[in-house]
Amino acid sequence: MPGPALRRGRMQGMNAPHETEVLETGAGMAGLGAPHVVVVPTDPLPDPYWVAWNAALAQALGLPAQPDQGWLRRLSGHGAESPWCSAYAGHQFGVWAGPLGDGRAHTLGLLTLAGQPQEIQLKGAGRTPFSRMGDGRAVLRSSIREYLASEALAGLGIPTTRALAVTGSALPVQRETLETAAIVTRVAPSFIRFGHFEHFAHHGHHDALQRLTDHVIARFYPECAQAPVPAQALLAAVAQRTAHLMARWQAVGFCHGVMNTDNMSILGLTLDYGPFGFMDGFDFHHVCNHSDSHGRYAYDQQPRIGWWNCAALGSALMPLIGDEDAVREALDGYAPAFQAALADAFRAKLGLAVPMEDDYRLASGLLTLLHESHADYTGFFRALCGLRRDAPESDGPLRDRLLERDAFDRWARDYRARLAAEHSRDEERAQAMRRVNPKYVLRNYLAELAIRDARDGRFDTLEMLARVLAAPFDEHPGQEAWAGEPPDWAGTLSVSCSS
Ligand code: AMP
Ligand code: MG
């Protein structure tokens, strides 16, 4: 069944003509129509208030830097013309979970960012046919975390969905404790997940699978249309993007926490921020999600799980590819792409301009030292930017971050020899390293500070934190405390799937 005709959207009940004309409804994935998407009314937040507005992103989308009441209501689910939800399924924690779908996400329409159409999606605007036992809501806490994390990853240059706004309401929402409702407005070229493909493959709806694949190729992977087997080319391209994303996460110490196939973007974007975490103390086996009791999604497992998820996408595309060897061949590109991207990322983190034989050993040797000392990951690499090649006696502050000082001295001797081998110059190297080793990441305790203030009706911490994280490589004089390790009270913070 064809989708609704593409048209300029008019949002009902709004009074600012400029703003009401910009959202294009019926386009994007909505164009696929049933069974991929269904139009579902929103259940708006009562008496909404502003929590956050991303002025820079808003302006890039052609929206005002200062939003009016109309946008407050619209982004709280009021007056939506034909909001839609999509059907997907997925593997959760390695097990087939059956039908899932947008249980609390409504897409309002499209806006344009740098010439590219972007879907504008509300998360938490009420129940949908896919809500199952859920209430269709999101809480203030998780909405702030998603807002900050999206913009933190964007600031780091890592592919991600974006966040335009958070609105809140006094509406009570039951999680482990009673909390209040909020909606985060997300922005992405598409929110299509691996799970969308799995859904139609599982039900044997091969026509729907083909239409979804054609849609994704036509919009986002046009080069695949020319390949002898377009679905195979798509799988190979998605495996490449996913491999790159995993390398980028590993390099900044980002743990997603719930890498289920329904949370994997077909565009290789970081998607669905829940119990994620940036590592403070480095630990290969760090698990950020307290619900992940077996550590399936531990830091050092993410690259392997990225591959596993691509393999699940491969099985879903099997009916279109038609040959297991061809699926395997498409997936074969994942490991080399990941390894190359990871090697590049760590070479850059170490300030090495020229690739050499032993770089892997040098990087992994340092990670082992950090792991043994549980040293602060972000802080250590940022401090390493200032290392003086010919002055080991100035290493004090760096080696004091580790328990095994002698082991650090041995590593630093190798590192210095390596730097000398490419005639590395301190000032140049420091500058280059400070462009890839952030000073600021979204540590859990920082998100918690913003959440606590927001609960008290104060949003300046959130605003300032968002501003710092948008430019995480800059020094931000006066904000240095936010580059610091977690305070004692943060030791008890626990992050679960509840959101
Ligand atoms: P998540 O764990 O957030 O990735 O969500 C997994 C599935 O559960 C998706 O289909 C979500 O739409 C759905 N879901 C999660 N929380 C809720 C909720 N509060 N209400 C309705 N559906 C939800
Ligand atoms: Mg999800």
User: Which of the 8 DSSP states describes residue 99?
Assistant: -
Tokens for 417? Answer: 């020899």
Ligand nearest to the CA of 264: 2
Tell me the CA–centroid distance for residue 369 and ligand 2, in Å.
Answer: 35
| Sequential pLDDT tens for the chain (499 residues) | 333 333 344 443 334 444 445 788 888 899 999 999 999 999 999 999 999 999 999 999 999 999 999 999 999 999 999 999 999 999 999 999 999 999 999 999 999 999 999 999 999 999 999 999 999 999 999 999 999 999 999 999 999 999 999 999 999 999 999 999 999 999 999 999 999 999 999 999 999 999 999 999 999 999 999 999 999 999 999 999 999 999 999 999 999 999 999 999 999 999 999 999 999 999 999 999 999 999 999 999 999 999 999 999 999 999 999 999 999 999 999 999 999 999 999 999 999 999 999 999 999 999 999 999 999 999 999 999 999 999 999 999 999 999 999 999 999 999 999 999 999 999 999 999 999 999 999 999 999 999 999 999 999 999 999 999 999 999 999 999 999 999 999 987 888 888 8
Q: Is 34 helix (H, G, I), strand (E, B) or coil?
A: coil
Asked if residue 102 has its Cβ within 6 Å of ligand 1, the reply is: yes
Cα–Cα distance between 396 and 155 in angstroms, integer?
31
Number of other residues whose CB lies within 10 A of the CB of residue 168: 26
Structural tokens at position 471: 């430019």
- Note the ligand closest to the C-alpha atom of 125: 1
Q: What is the best residue among 96, 100, 258, 263 to mutate for testing ligand 1's pocket, by most ligand atoms within 8 Å of CB?
A: 100
Decide whether any atom of ligand 1 lies within 6 Å of the 195 Cβ: no
Structure token pair of residue 403 = 């328990």
Q: How far apart are the first and last CA of the chain?
A: 35
The reply to whether 262 belongs to the active site is: yes
Catalytic annotation, pick one of 262, 280, 283, 395: 262
Closest ligand 1 atom, CA of 272?
4
Q: Is 272 in the pocket of ligand 1 (CB under 6 A)?
A: yes
Residues with CB under 5 A from ligand 2 (ion): 263, 272
Q: Cα separation of 304 and 246, whole Å?
A: 9
Q: Residue of the nearest CA to atom 7 in ligand 1?
A: 100
- Distance (Å, rounded) from C-alpha 15 to C-alpha 227? 48
Q: What is the rounded CA–CA span in Å between residue 333 and residue 367?
A: 26
Tokens of 281: 């103390």
Dihedral, CA atoms, 79, 84, 89, 94, nearest 10 degrees? -50
Name the residue with tokens 């994935």. 29
SS3 (DSSP) at 422: coil
Instruction: Tell me the two tokens of residue 351.
Output: 């300030």
Dist CA 387 CA 290 (whole Å): 36
- Answer yes or no: is the C-beta of 244 below 6 A from any ligand 1 atom: no
Following DSSP, what letter does each residue of 195-217 receive, concatenated? HHHHHHHHTT-HHHHHHHHHHHH
What size, in residues, is the chain? Answer: 499
Whether the bond between 355 and the residue before it is cis, its omega within 30 degrees of 0, is no
